[in-house]
Every structure is written in C-alpha cells, then in structure tokens.
Chains A and B, each alone.
Chain A
Amino acid sequence: MRKLRELAGLASAFLGATVTTAQADYGLLNMRVGVTETSKSVYELHMIIFWVCCAIGVVVFGAMIWSMIHHRKSKGAVAAQFHESTTMEILWTVVPIVILVSMAIPATTTLLAMEDTSNADMTIKVTGLQWKWKYDYVDGEAAGVSFVSSLHPKHNEARLLGADVDLSQFGDQYLLDVDNPLVIPTGQKVRFLLTAADVIHAWWVPDLGWKKDAIPGFVNEAWTKVDEPGVYRGQCAELCGKDHGFMPIVVIAKAPEDYAKWVSEQQASIAAANASADREWTMDELMAKGEQVYTTSCAACHQANGQGLPPTFPAIAGSAIATGEPDAHIGLVLNGKAGTAMAAYRDVLNDVDLAAVLTYQRNAFGNSASAIQPAAVKAAR
C-alpha cells in the first residue's frame, strides 16, 4: 500500500510540475511567447495541445491509479474475466480521432500563415557557414549591405576548454552574443532567404517563433514581422560540426528612424571599404587587418596559433600552399576545397579582407612569403 501511495504521489508530482509549467508564461519552464504574431499563435497552439494531453493524461492515469488502489489482490479483489467490449473499443477509437481533428484545424491555419512569404517589404539573405552567419541585404534601403556575424570574441575566449573565466559577467547572454548583429526595422514584413555554404545549419530565434534549415545549394524562405524594438537572441539549431554550439544569432529590431540611421552608417563604411580596395596597402596595415579577419573567420579550424588540428584541419604554419605561389593560395581560399570543411570565401569576405588574411597567413606563425594586395584578389575573382 505504501508503495502504491508513492506511485500515486509520483504521478501527481508529474501533473503538478506540468501545471506550474503552464502557468509560467515566460521564464525557464515554458515556451517563450515571443514578439511576433507567428510566435504568439505557435504558443497558443502549444498550450492547446499541452492541455489536451494533460486532460487525456488525467483520465488515463486516473483510471489506472484507481484500479491499482482498489483492484489489488491484497485487498481481496477477485479478478473479473471480461476481455472484450466492442462499445468501448469503438469509443476509444472515435473520441481520439475527434480530438485530433479538432487540433489539426488550428494547426493547419497557423502553418499556412507561417509559410506565406508573399508581399514582403524587404529581403535578407542568410548564409550559414562553419561557424558563423553571413547576412546580405538583398533589397530595400539597405540593399548591398553585407557582413559576417560570429560569436563575440570575449565569449569565444571564455568558452575554451578549461578557460576558467567567470561566466556570470555575461548575464544570461553567455554564448548568445555576436560581433555584428543583424538589424531589421520594426513593423515591416522581412523575408529571409536561407542557405548555407558548407553544411546544413538552422536559423532560430525563439522570440520570432520559428526555425528553418539553411541548406547548401538550396534556398529556404521564411518571414517575420517584429513590432517591438528590442534585441532577440538565438542559436544555430542544426548540428554543423565542432563549433555548432557557438554560432549564435542576434537580431536587433529598430524603429524605422533608427534603422535608417544604422543603414547610412553601414553604407558609409562600405564606401570606405570600396575606396580602400583600390589603393595599395602597406604590410603593417594588411597584417593588422589580417589578424582580425583570421581570428573571426579562420581560427576556429586553423587555430589562433596557426597549428590547425591535424589531420582534420591542416596547419597554416609551414603550409606549402600558404607559403607558396600567391595564385594557388588565393584560388584555394576563394573557391574552397570541395568535399572538405574548407569553404569558398569568394562570397563571404571582400577583397580587402581576403588580401589581409592571406597576407597574414603568409607572414604569421613563422611563415614568410610575399604580401597580397586587394587588387590581386580582385583580379583573381
């Protein structure tokens, strides 16, 4: 009897826990309600199914627990011998079907709305790379803006094995902060074109209410419309290799005026970059910029000290390619190497960044070879 009570107690503990779950709207027990129409209807759908399951659970577990308490041999119960009832069988086939159909209806409506990417106000192309995101503003006022977004360098140091850094300094943003966040305007329907350069990734910001895979060679569409300015964080949600856990997403929704300001800043820096691509760079400039690009773009595989992680990721230090003919080096990095983790950086980095990182690779870690100018990269494209 005591054990039975324990069992019953356990069962009610489940239910208790789940009920608390349901009541906490935000916080760490339940799904986030999010900030978009979509996320709100997904949340509602989630709660409906949840409560339906709870109700069925109460009936099924209730019946089970009742019979475990009352139909025990130790209580003198004598087993009945019935073993069939067509009525019951029909009943418990039909009732669940009815419940399921009534759940399928709102699910269908929500799904159709989520998949409707038509009439968007602007389009952003999102490309997943091991292990960073690249954003291209395809149209609208920010057309042409393009940048790579990776884990914030501070977090990147803190997350190393045995780093022993106090993580509480990051609040609840540990691993959820990036160097260059994605910025979108509020009140506009933003269409996303998702793809990847190497392996499959998935772009997920819980507050927006969906995730979608970024698949190399194919483009998926999704959309969002955020009304509240704010910072919304998420992560890559498809296993994409060693640093899958370290490719966060930060979306900043800005009111239209602020957004316009951000766009003009971006365009100014693009113009500056374009201008600088045409001039001759000094070795020091290239090395300084190169180190920066190397750290964010290459060090995940080839390591900060250039030693790589052989045999998977070759060392740059002493590499025949990185110390050899410039053309081979440029070509490899522009086009990547099919069938390996070495992706094509043609569409990821601009001429200046490429020239800088190539020069850096050729002259850091004890390497010593000729510098590469942006013009050379441009010519090789």
Chain B
Amino acid sequence: MSTATATHDDHHDHGPAKGLMRWVTTTNHKDIGTLYLLFALVMFFVGGAMAMVIRAELFQPGLQVVDPQFFNSMTTVHALVMIFGAVMPAFTGLANWLIPMMIGAPDMALPRMNNFSFWILPFAFSLLLSTFFMAGGGPAAGWTLYPPLSLQMGDGFPFMIFAIHLAGISSIMGSINIVVTILNMRAPGMTLMKMPLFVWTWLITAYLLIATMPVLAGAVTMLLTDKFAGTSFFSAAGGGDPVMYQHIFWFFGHPEVYILILPAFGIISAIVPTFARKPLFGYSSMVYATASIAFLSFIVWAHHMFTVGMPVVGELFFMYATMMIAVPTGVKVFNWVSTMWKGAMTFETPMLFAVGFIMMFTIGGFSGLMLAIAPADFQYHDTYFVVAHFHYVLVTGAIYSIMAATYYWLPKWTGNMYDEKLGKLHFWISTVSVNVLFFPQHFLGLAGMPRRIPDYSVQFTDWNVVSSIGGFVFGVSQLMFVWIIVKAIRGGEKASDQVWEGADGLEWTLPSPPPYHTFTEAPQVK
C-alpha cells in the first residue's frame, strides 16, 4: 500500500457545502452513507405500509379492503421495495459509512460514482411507484415477475422494467466502488486477513452483486423484448420456454438472498465479540465459510423451482447442493455461540438484536433446510410456510442486523448515545410481535394456505388474525425506532470515542462523531 493520504481540489475548504446542494452533490462517504440509510428507512416504511394493507386484507376471510388485482400489486411491490429499496440500500449505506473507517481509508475509491450510485435510487423507485397511477396499475405478478403473467401488465410495464434496470445499475456501481475501496484503499498493515468481518462479508457480497445484477438485467430485458419486440424467449410456440426465465431469474435470485444476509453476518460478527468482551471465535473459518456460501449460492438456484417439472437428476442435484449450505452457515452460528461462551456479556440494545438475530435467523435457516428437501417442498412450495421461512431470514435476519448495526454505530455517527431504555423496549416489543406475526404462518402453510392470495377459506382465519395483530404491533413499534434515531441525532449523552467497552477496530479510534474527512493521514495497522 503506497500512500493513503488525501488531498482535495480546494485546500481551504474542509467542511461540507451548505444547504440542500451539499446532499445532492456530495462525494463524501459519510454523507452518502447517511443518504442511503435515510432512503432505506423511508422505503422500509413504504414497503411496510404495503405489508399492512396485505395483513389488513388477510385479517378476515372475504374481501374487505382491496380488490384482488391491487392486493397482488401490494404483494409484488412490497417485496420489491423491501428488498431493493430497504435492505440493499441500508447495507450499502452501512458499507459507505463504515468500510473507509474500518480499513483506514480517506474515503471511498470512486467518490463521484458513489454519489451517482445513490442518486439513481430515488429516481428508480419513483418510476416503480408511479406505475400505480398508470392504466392497468402497478406490477402484480409477484416480485419474481414470472412470464407470461408479468407480460399481461398494463402501461406500467416498461416503467417497472426500467426501474429495475436503474436500481441494478446503482447496485453494480455501488459494488464496484466497494470492491475497489477494499482492495485498493486499505491502510498500511491492514492485510486481508486482518480486515474486520463486516468488510470481508461486504467484499464477497459486492462480488455476488457484480456477478448477478447484470443477469437480472438480462432477464428483464428479455421480458421487455418479449412484450414489445416480438421475441420468443419465454414462449414455447417460438421454441422458448417460460421456465427459462425462472432459471435466469433465480440464477440471480438465489445469490441475491445471500446478498441480503452476508453483510448481516458481518455485523453480528462485530457486535457479539464487543459485548462478550472476547475476540471473535474462528475468524478465518468465518472468512472461509462466507466464501463457501457465496460459491454454493451459484449452484442451488433451482430449489425455487422444484415443482416446474425439471428432470429428476436436476432436482436431486439442486437438493443436495442446497442442503450443503447448512454446513458453512452452521459454522457461523457455532462460531458466534462459541464467542459468547465464557465471555463477560452485557446486553445493550445492539447485543439484544444480535442475539435475537442468531436465534431467529437459525429458525429461518431450519425451515430453509426443510424446503430444500425436494419431495417435501412439493408440499411446502408456494404456501405460507415459505413466507414464514423468508420473513424469518429477512425480517428477523436482515432487518434485525440493520437495527443492531444502527444502535451499535449510531453513537459513533452522531456523537450522542441513543436512549438505552427505549432501545431495549423497542427490541422486546419487536421481538414478541414479530414472532406473533410470522410464527403462525408456518402453521398456515402446513395446513394448506397458498401464498399470494387475497382471500382464504375460513379454517385459516384464526392464525391469520393472530398474524395480522402481530403485524400491526410490529409495524407501529417501528415508529419507536425512528423516534430513537431522531432523538439521538438531536442530542443526548455524549458518546466517547470508544463508545463500547469491548469495541475493537479502527473506527473506534476516531472521534465521535468522526471528522468530515476520515483518515487524511493513513493510520498504521500493526
């Protein structure tokens, strides 16, 4: 690593520009990180509001609130917004804030492009949401957009496709930036195997993104030409196959779900050692496990398609490969538990969310393993059992890790401690309600309730009522989260540089809040 010190085009001005334009033109990794995080929070509420519509309609059998077409578009856009608008940008925001601070870099490697990656997003999601106001309404074919159904969409169709293209461009550029920052901007002495796990997991996540987002772009481009240019990719009459779309989609889609969880693994691997006051157990096996998960994620995609009628050898292959993922993921869980073992633990809010993550993610992982068993998946597939599975890994997995990260680093970002009492309350209300929300969905799925339906037979009523109540409580309790963040931004007990007794890493050597330009002189890492 040669030099890692920084200069700027204007040597006199070292603070941010003023006003709105600061945010529009910024090239500063912290500003951009903040923008990403705020955008993600807004999108979480947009997607969550749609989830509330879903839960309200499913509160009782019969149709009370929305018509079936609108219900389907709620399901579809809820998922698109949550995945591409909330979780991914939140992780990218964390990467922006933290990676330069963790590796001792002055900023991200390509700061202007960094700004570009962010600012495409509001435009992309405006396009997506604008389809609701067009003839034919919003997308309603599920977030997987399977043809031929997705091709039946009205005027919004090309807008939705282009929104996905734009969000994809944003992710690819964001990821290139992250990979290059990590590979090129580390402070002297920061070897790869000394990097914090959050940096490692993001390195691998970014690689997955660069490898798979273009494939999604290709898939939706083929949808576009099938609809408007007369191509026959997904039509048997022309020699194509609707199932071909599913293969291409899931070649992206399965790595995508690990994109949504690997950074979470990194966050948990930072928080657990801090509050156990004990070094992370099995650092290098964590790195290898992450890499194995990434590798395996490319060869398991068709477990989403066990019922499409693949040749049986294909089904067997994808079943075995999918089951293998439990091994490296297990290594991670065991390492976290071993880190806690014989530690000296305290349970501040970040740790509560981390512990909640480990338990509930594992429950989600178990149901994933059940889904991996192809013959059993013939029963589970497209039921609420799958919905329960992925909300355990996404909500109590990805979202919980983001909340844990927010509580953990908020004092560093703002310089103020958040309200610990409220934080703990937020955790407990969320954890109880989220289980009331999603655990009964296992029962519903097993009892035979399909997913993506606006109305159901009366014997499913009880658990749907329970689930909806859990959903409303969980939704409302997220308002606490916002309140706690606002409160910490506006003031509060001053945080020390170290913030947490057991915290370890370069970011904790910086003042809280850190200066506008992070490491103008590269730190020496021993």
Contacts and interface: CB of A to CB of B under 8 A. Distances in A.
Direct contact of A and B (CB under 8 A): yes
Interface in A156-188: 158-163, 165, 167-168, 170-176
Nearest to B64: A162
A30 interface: yes
Interface in A55-77: 56-57, 60-61, 63-64, 67-68, 71-74, 77
Interface stretch (B85-93, B341-349, B469-477, B484-492): B341-349
B221 interface: no
A242 B72 contact: yes
B457 A341 contact: no
B428 interface: yes
Contacts of A74: 346
Given A176-B457, A217-B241, 7 more contacts: A39-B379, A72-B345, A84-B282, A92-B331, A115-B312, A215-B308, A312-B69
Contacts of A235: 448, 450, 453
B337 A64 contact: yes
Contacts of B342: 67, 71, 77, 79-80, 82
B312 A111 contact: yes
Interface in A216-252: 216-218, 220-221, 234-246
Interface stretch (B164-172, B197-205, B253-261, B321-329): B321-329
Interface stretch (A196-204, A256-264, A266-274, A317-325): A196-204
A88 interface: yes
Interface residues of A, number: 113
Nearest to B309: A220
B61 A174 contact: yes
Interface string A138-170: 000000000000000000001111110101101
Q: Which 5 pairs from chain A and chain B are nearest by CB?
A: A217-B236, A245-B453, A220-B309, A53-B366, A80-B342
Contact of A53 (B64, B370, B381, B448): B370
Nearest to A110: B375
B154 A211 contact: no
Contacts of B296: none
Contacts of B141: 239, 241
A45 interface: yes
A238 B20 CA distance: 47
Nearest to A47: B376
Interface string B326-370: 110011011001111111111100000001001100110011011
B242 interface: yes
B453 A244 contact: yes
B154 A312 contact: yes
A231 B508 CA distance: 66
Interface stretch (A2-10, A345-353, A366-374): A2-10
Contact of B448 (A32, A163, A218): A32
Residues of B contacting A: mostly: helix
A11 B366 contact: no
A81 interface: yes
11 contacts: A14-B435, A49-B373, A57-B362, A67-B342, A171-B458, A216-B242, A235-B448, A241-B72, A245-B455, A311-B154, A312-B69
B323 A68 contact: no
A10 B345 contact: no
A100 B345 contact: no
Interface stretch (A101-109, A280-288, A327-335): A101-109
Given A93-B327, A161-B63, A245-B456, A56 B366 contact: yes
A164 B344 CA distance: 59
Interface stretch (B111-119, B143-151, B212-220): B143-151
Given A14-B363, A71-B341, A161-B67, A172 B375 contact: no
Contacts of A68: 340, 345, 347, 355
Contacts, number: 315
Given A71-B341, A79-B343, A28 B462 contact: yes
Looking at A6, A167, A221, the one whose CB has the most chain B CB atoms below 10 A away is A167
B277 interface: yes
A210 interface: yes
A61 to B, nearest CB: 6
Nearest to B501: A73
Contacts of B376: 42, 45-46, 49, 107
Nearest to A20: B443
Contact of B309 (A49, A56, A107, A213): A213
B344 A175 contact: no
Contacts of B130: none
A380 interface: no
A244 B72 contact: yes
B439 A14 contact: yes
A215 B342 CA distance: 56
B67 A216 contact: no
Contact of A73 (B324, B344, B424): B344
A83 B66 CA distance: 55
A114 interface: yes
Nearest to A28: B447
Nearest to B69: A242
A29 B334 CA distance: 30
Contacts of B355: 7, 64, 68
Interface string A1-27: 001101100110010010001000001
Contacts of B149: 199-200, 239-241
B458 A31 contact: no
A80 B343 contact: yes
A60 B281 CA distance: 15
Contact of A79 (B67, B152, B277, B358): B277
Contacts of A31: 379, 446
Contacts of B345: 67-68, 71-73, 77
A196 B455 CA distance: 23
A13 to B, nearest CB: 8
B381 A237 contact: yes
A175 B456 contact: yes
Given A29-B446, A218-B241, A165 B62 contact: yes
Contacts of B151: 339
A111 to B, nearest CB: 5
